[in-house]
Each structure stands twice: as structure tokens, then as C-alpha cells.
Amino acid sequence: MTDVYAILGFPVGHSRSPIMHNRAFAALGLAAVYVPFAVAPEKLSAAISGIRALGMRGANVTLPHKSAVMALLDHVEPDALAIGAVNTLYRDGERLCGTNTDAEGLARALREASVQLAGARVTLLGAGGAARASLVGLARAGAARITVVARRLAEAQGIVAELASAVQPCELCALGLADVSLPQIFAATDLLVQATSATLNGGPAAEAFIAGLPVAALPASAVVTDLVYRPLETALLRAASQRGLRTVDGLGMLLHQGALAFERWTGRAAPLSVMRAALLDAGS
């Protein structure tokens, strides 16, 4: 019997998850298949009922369903509740449960790149779901301080207010993108995390966004990562490299969040080299 896994999104045709997971299943000789399902928002409840009825062992959830799916599950893990998003569904007996592997996926990717997270001073760009997952993952990994920077100060303040109690003892701060103290924050940054869509697909808009950041103020020891992986070298990573800073691209988080889901579903160690190669092939 073949186990069926899926990714639910709308749209979903761009996802690299099917090639990554199907190659991993094949590498380990598992009788399993992973397929993409385009699920319109009004069909999400029916899709979850279908997962239950078909006895599917797990699935991934991507935009725009990461928050809406939570109300349809039997259990949501605490960190996913704090983040406000679920990206992985798994079975616990008859219960259909939700977790968020993005948070730990980022931490694993940075550790793999030998980035020191314990005691790190982090500057986090963004106020959406990716930023929330990044904040929780980095706080859990031991970051000492995380400054959330958003275009609108109120958005950054909202994340800090909502998550401060969940990530203690990590210190959280909020800042607007136009704040005059931003260069000082960058100058005291060990890790800069770009968690907005501003650099997606490159182009003039991405270049303009980066031109507005005080990248020159970052210390020579700082590490810069961009969660965007299309293109693999974003405008931010290129600017950081030109300064001689160490950079980590967004493919690592994509890989490790998928590996965590794979391990949750199968109880087997994920074949990371196979999955990484599949992601690179999918982007070529």
C-alpha cells in the first residue's frame, strides 16, 4: 500500500516540495508519494475532511491556508499557536495535528552554516508569518535579543507584544524601517534575517528596498540571511557579500523545514543530501 502525502496551497504549482519529498521517499525505498493540491480557500475545510477520510498520514500547508487550517485540526502544537500558523499536518492516532517546522527549520539551517545563535543579537526584517516563525525559532535557539523591523512601527510592535511572553528570556524590541536609530541597531547586529517578500524575484523594487537599509553599518562579523530563495542570491545577499560579510541563502530553511516534516511523518532520518539536490534541480 502506498502512503499519500500532499501540499495544500492556492496556488501551489510553484512548490518545490513534491520533488524534494518524492526523491527522499525513493532514496529510502519507502512506498509513498507526495502530490500538490490546489485548494481554494473556500474548499479548505472539505480538503481537510478528505485527508481524514482517506487516512492520509500527513500533509504540508502553504499560503493562504497556514492560519485558517488551525481551526480545522484536533490539536495544534504550542509554538505553532504562538506563531499563528501551521505548515505541517501529521497523525497522532485518530487525531489530525498541526505543527510549524519553519521555526526550527531556520535554526537548523543556520546551525548547519555554523552560525552562532546562542546569545546572538538579531535584527529581523518583516512582520508577516515568516518573520513570526523566525522570531520563535531564533528565540528557542538562544538568541539574546531580537529587534523586529517593519515598514510600519505598529506592525513590529504588534509582533513583539504578542510573542514576548512566549519567547522569554529573549529580549524583543520593535522598530520602524524609517527610524533614525536603525543604523545603530545594524551596527550592534550579529545576525540579520530578511523575512519579507521584498527581495523576491529581484528587480528594481528589491534593489530599492536594499538601498534603504544601512547594510554598511553591519559589523564585519555579522551574518546575513534572506529567507527568499528565488533568486538564490538576493539583492541583500549580494550587497552583504560585496561587503565581505558571511551570507546564508534561503534554500537551507526550505530544506530543513521539509526534513523536519519528513521525519515527523516517517520516523526516519531525512536524506538531506538527496533533498538538497532535488531542490537545486527544481530551481534550475
Place of cell 532520518: 269
Q: Which residues touch 66 (CB under 8 Å, ≥6 apart)?
A: 85, 86, 87, 129
Residue 139 to residue 251: CA distance in whole angstroms: 21
Active-site pick, 66, 108, 256, 276: 66
CB-based contact 6:35 (threshold 8 Å): yes
How buried is residue 174: exposed, middle or buried, by Cβ count under 10 Å (0-12/13-18/19+)? buried
Q: Cell numbers at residue 113, please?
A: 552554516
DSSP per-residue codes, 61-120:
E-TT-TTGGGGGSSEE-HHHHHHT---EEEEETTEEEEE--HHHHHHHHHHHTT---TT-
Q: Express the helix, strand and coil content of the chain in percent, nearest 5 each.
A: 45, 20, 35
Please, are residues 133 and 148 in contact by the beta-carbon 8 Å criterion?
A: no
Closest by CA to 131, choosing from 158, 110, 113, 111, is 158
Residue 192 corresponds to which cell in the numbers above?
A: 540579520
Report the 10 Å Cβ neighbour count for 128. 14
Alpha-carbon distance of 21 to 272, in angstroms, equals 10
The verdict on whether 66 is a catalytic residue reads yes
- The catalytic residue positions are 66
